[in-house]
Structure 1
């Protein structure tokens, strides 16, 4: 079994935002968008690109909120009515596989221990190797070109620690 699985964001904090009008959203730094193509609007909850005509919000999201030098936030798209998707171990969705991805691995105290920019088609192999290391607790994927947070890679099992 693969040592990682990808997980989308919890939709609950975003759902009430869809009820706000555009002026209320703008006051919070949020933009309402409607997808005008089937690619280019990757929903961080459902882990897939929105389809033409679907409503999304573009907003800043704190994806690493721990007290750490790596605390971070960035832009994300969230689609109206999206359900949180957690993929089977080892699976990488097309919206990741078709993009240039920055992968960042963190330890249990939220310090970055490894990072790489790679084509999405090799993300699974990179994550397999990263999670083979016991120090890696989780990883974040980002779209490398625009810097947007993409999703969380969480551990599905812990490797045996070798004793010297």
Structure 2
């Protein structure tokens, strides 16, 4: 099954770069990257050392509801190109494993779908989950901190 790794929407990234309020109503914080561990959720690549970036609260769901998790993410402070590749994006190669979890069409967690998956198995596990009729998309999150990384959909 062809997969699409979906970044944060470009219009939302632009709003945050204009320093509009994040999911908690706060102004995104601006910092300078030390070079490691700062994955941008728009281009899905790491932010280079010396580049400015934002830290903000992000809720990758269309509306508030009990399963709409919100958490911290990083974003290039300056415009970057949205990730559009079909392969595993660069930010998903910086850890040994990630948490993958399936969500239904109404943005609810599909119980029993979450598991920590080695990087080499991300595509296979996402394909397995997306073959289930009740799963509309998959979130990739940090296996250690639960930070949102990106969304995987059927291409």
State how far apart, in whole Å, the 1-side matches of 2:2 and 2:106 are: 20
TM-score normalized by the length of structure 1:
0.79
Residue 120 of structure 1 and its aligned partner are, at CA, apart by 2.0
Task: Tell me how far apart the structure 2 counterparts of residues 19 and 94 of structure 1 sit (CA, whole Å).
Answer: 25
2:83 corresponding residue in structure 1: 85
1:111 aligns with 2:124: no
CA RMSD after TM alignment: 2.3
- Structure 1, unaligned runs of 5 or more: 157-164
Count residues with an aligned counterpart. Answer: 148
Q: Which residue is 1:4 aligned to? A: 3
State the alpha-carbon separation in 2 of the partners of residues 87 and 125 from structure 1: 17
TM-score normalised to structure 2 length: 0.83
**Change over 3 Å in CA distance of 1:108–1:50 after alignment to 2:** same
**2:130·2:153 contact (CA, 8 Å) conserved in 1?**
no
CA 1:40–1:110: 2 relative to 1, 3 Å: same
More strand by share: 1
**Structure 1 runs of 4+ with >4 Å offset:** none
Please say which structure displays the higher CA radius of gyration: 1
Specify whether residues 110 and 19 from structure 1 end up closer, same or farther in structure 2 by C-alpha distance, changes over 3 A only.
closer
Please list the CA deviations of residues 24-69 of structure 1 after superposition, one character each: whole Å capped at 9, or x if unmatched: 99x92532111111x3000000011011111110000111234543
* 1:55 and 2:52 are equivalent in the alignment: yes
Cα distance in 2 between the residues matched to 1:63 and 1:47: 15
Q: In structure 1, how many angstroms separate the alpha carbons of the residues matched to 2:32 and 2:64?
A: 35
